[in-house]
Amino acid sequence: MKKSLTKSLAAILVLSATAAMAQQKTMDDMKSMPMGKPAAGQTVHMAKGKVTKVDAAGGVVTLAHAPVKSLNWPAMTMGFQVEDKMVLDKLTVGKTVDFEFAQTDKGYVIIKVK
């Protein structure tokens, strides 16, 4: 019984470490994404994501979003500024939303939530 429990705990620890390393790789990959001021005629990108955190004071929502084809991004979890803090009233942890965002001098900013 103890061997079985020990093996199960070891497997859980390995899986947890693997997930943490995958998340870190995703965040490291984001460092190479352009974050400058928007070019004339900025592009609006669309995605679907699940809210994982809302920081009303900072005006940031963290979303686990699907791939964004227009940017060639894989699915990942990342924080977005919001253009209008009133949008945060619509966002609760666990809610799935369709959203539009654009690159600005502040990074990627959500401009619309459906």
Q: Residue 54 belongs to a domain with what CATH number?
A: 2.40.50.320
Residues of the domain holding 77: 33-113
What burial letters (b/e) apply to 18-51, b meaning 16+ CB within 10 Å? eeeeeeeeeeeeeeeeeeeeeeeeeeebebebeb
pLDDT in tens, 6-26: 665 555 655 555 554 555 555
Residue 55 has pLDDT above 60, yes or no: yes
- Establish if 14 belongs to a structural domain: no
- Establish if 94 belongs to a structural domain: yes
Number of domains into which the chain is organized:
1
> H/E/C letters for each residue in the chain?
CHHHHHHHHHHHHHHHHHHHHHHHHHHHHHCCCCCCCCCCCCCEEEEEEEEEEEECCCCEEEEEECCEHHHCECCEEEEEEECCHHHHHHCCCCCEEEEEEEEECCEEEEEEEC
pLDDT in tens, 62-96: 999 999 999 999 999 999 999 999 999 889 999 99
- Establish if 39 belongs to a structural domain: yes
